[in-house]
Amino acid sequence: MERDNTYRHILKWGDKREEEVGHHMVTLIKEKFGLTDADFREKYLPGTDEVRLEKPSLLKPAQADFLRSISGEENVLTDDFHRTQYSCGKFYGELLDLRLKRVPDPPDAVVSPRSHDEVARIVAYCSEEKIPVVPAGGQSSVTGALRAPFGGIALDLTRHLNRIVKINTVNKTVTVQAGIFGPALEAELNRQGYTCGHFPQSFEYSTVGGWVSARGAGQASTGYGKIEDMVVALKAVTPAGVIETRDFPRTAQGWDVFRLFSGAEGTLGVITEVTLHIFNYAPQNTRLAAFIFRSFEQAVESMRRMIQSEYGKPHMFRISDPQETDIAFRTSGFDGTFPDRFLTGLGFKTGSRCLMFVTVEGERDYAGFVMGKIKRSARAGKGMYIGAGPVRKWLAQRYSSAYLRDPLMDLGIMSDTLETAVTWENLLKVWSAAHEYVRHRPRAFLMIHISHVYENGANLYFTFLTPMEKGNEQQDFSRFHSGLVDTILASGGSISHHHGVGRVLAPWMESHLGRSSIELMAAVKRHLDPNNIMNPGGTLGLQ
Ligand SMILES: Cc1cc2nc3c(=O)[nH]c(=O)nc-3n(C[C@H](O)[C@H](O)[C@H](O)COP(=O)(O)OP(=O)(O)OC[C@H]3O[C@@H](n4cnc5c(N)ncnc54)[C@H](O)[C@@H]3O)c2cc1C
């Protein structure tokens, strides 16, 4: 275990244990990228040095004293480690910076308020003093949304504002403080017979405030909805005052003001409380099924027919494209086995076959009925049912598979993800354009899956792997990443489906949304945040 004051301690995702890349994966990497054991002898840019910041905290002593007078001495931190820890999220470029011992955008202090009222006092004071405020939840942002290019304070919601306020079993809602992490919320809901229904891959280390602010989607979003479908009401502190909305089911009284905060990424204010819909928790009823298709096109067509049939929806609904399916088969040791040869003999061949995973949750008869329909649709679409086992296996590592990025970076492998929303009409075009783009880089590998499905389209989720250009890691990544974003947008995808925009995707906002939309967003921000203190410096394309 490394010391806990190092860059590595900050950059590591997961529970900080050192993960190993499995034997099958190492073989695959060597083969795909032409690497040898010698390339893996030492960890590349391990980031094991103690954190040191060159930029001193620019908070004036009187300002720091005032913040301490609000939240207490122990809740205002200005040391190098904490300022570094709160200078970033988990975007690949930020992890690379940490490995290179660079901390370009640290806040001047980290403040952990103990109540909504303290947040209100801090925001009012910071607005008066023109001190930037960057709200921070679990810091799992993968879009550079947590950087503090103008310094100021990182406002940590997780230390104290992390409780369930009320589970309302009559209205079937839960009200929470925004800094509560997924597992704490879900454990208590399960105990009372409910589930939150929102399970991003980052579930273990992300918060309700972050889910709403980044406008995320969980792995079962096809059934439960995206986070903005779940929010009923919220309370937010803005420099212009507190906004508190009520928990009516639906209204017709002008705009739904609370919706402005979903996707605002901290630029309008600090969400302190959220009321969410909750769902019945009955895991014993969940039906699981995996199918295999001979091609991506067939799998996609079948998925479209299933979601548009109106017989009920899956909750988790995924297709891995041939490249991702191939990796799944190889790294699980399935390749070359008898079942593999059997499938190949039936025409489900490596390089074109695709896996589809489905879960249906809810009341027992409903889940059985919908899964029965799905199985019939899959058969009609030339898919083959291959049991529930692969889905069970996938669910067992649904969060921990992401822990692999750090050991891959230790091997000198660039590994990042992008995601987009597409209509059914455009899906195959975006999918093939992305593969075409990545094919142009020697020794690069792209896998794509669909994991959030709607009547009129779906998302595409891209994971790329390629050896780093050693000595030029950051520029090389930036060029490759930007080119992939350009390709996705040019072929008809959106900037994001659920990761958000942050500072990383901000440069594409105006051309994608249009000038009038950006001006409208800027006008709302000017009204709520006249001194531009809320997460300033580029997030969402706002200055
Ligand atoms: C390995 C990994 C897997 C991921 N998988 C998914 C996934 O499956 N689905 C998905 O949607 N996302 C995913 N993400 C992205 C990220 O986890 C989500 O965006 C998540 O919702 C962020 O929550 P957080 O609490 O970590 O927020 P943070 O990262 O701390 O903040 C995110 C943004 O929200 C703002 N913010 C946070 N809290 C508040 C608040 N209370 N008030 C106002 N603004 C606030 C911040 O200023 C920032 O702009 C993944 C990230 C990682 C690292």
Strands (E) located in 207-312: 231-238, 241-244, 270-277, 279-280, 287-293
CA distance 398 to 288: 14
- Token duo for residue 324: 């991702």
Atom 8 of ligand 1, residue of closest alpha carbon: 200
Residue from 140, 499, 504, 525 whose mutation best tests the ligand 1 pocket (most atoms within 8 A of CB): 140
* Prediction pTM value: 0.98
Q: Tell me if 8 sits within 8 A of 47, measured CB to CB.
A: yes
* Ligand 1 atom, smallest distance to 205 CA: 26
Ligand 1 in reach of 271 Cβ (< 6 A): yes
* Ligand 1 atom, smallest distance to 264 CA: 44
CA distance 235 to 505: 27
| Distance from chain centroid for Cα 180 | 16
Ligand 1 in reach of 113 Cβ (< 6 A): no
Would you tell me how many other CB atoms lie within 10 Å of the CB of residue 228?
A: 16
CA distance 447 to 431: 10
Burial 468-490, CB ≥16 within 10 A → b, else e: beeeebeebbeebbeebbebbbe
* Ligand 1 atom, smallest distance to 216 CA: 11
Of residues 385, 315, 325, 371, the one with CA closest to residue 352: 325
Q: What is the pLDDT of residues 294-309, one digit of tens each?
A: 999 999 999 999 999 9
Ligand 1 in reach of 157 Cβ (< 6 A): yes
Ligand 1 in reach of 321 Cβ (< 6 A): no
Distances (CA, A) of 484 to 180, 375, 409, 463, 526: 34, 35, 20, 11, 33
Taking the CA atoms of 374, 375, 378 and 383 in sequence, report the sign of the dihedral they define.
positive
Atom 36 of ligand 1, residue of closest alpha carbon: 210
* pLDDT at residue 2 in the model: 56
Residue from 133, 157, 213 whose mutation best tests the ligand 1 pocket (most atoms within 8 A of CB): 213
For residue 36, report the distance from its CA to the centre of ligand 1, in Å.
Answer: 36
Low-confidence ranges of the chain (pLDDT < 50): 1
Q: What is the pLDDT of residues 160-183, one digit of tens each?
A: 999 999 999 999 999 999 999 999
Look at phi and psi of residue 118 and say left if phi exceeds 0, alpha if psi is from -120 to 50, else beta.
alpha
* pLDDT at residue 20 in the model: 79
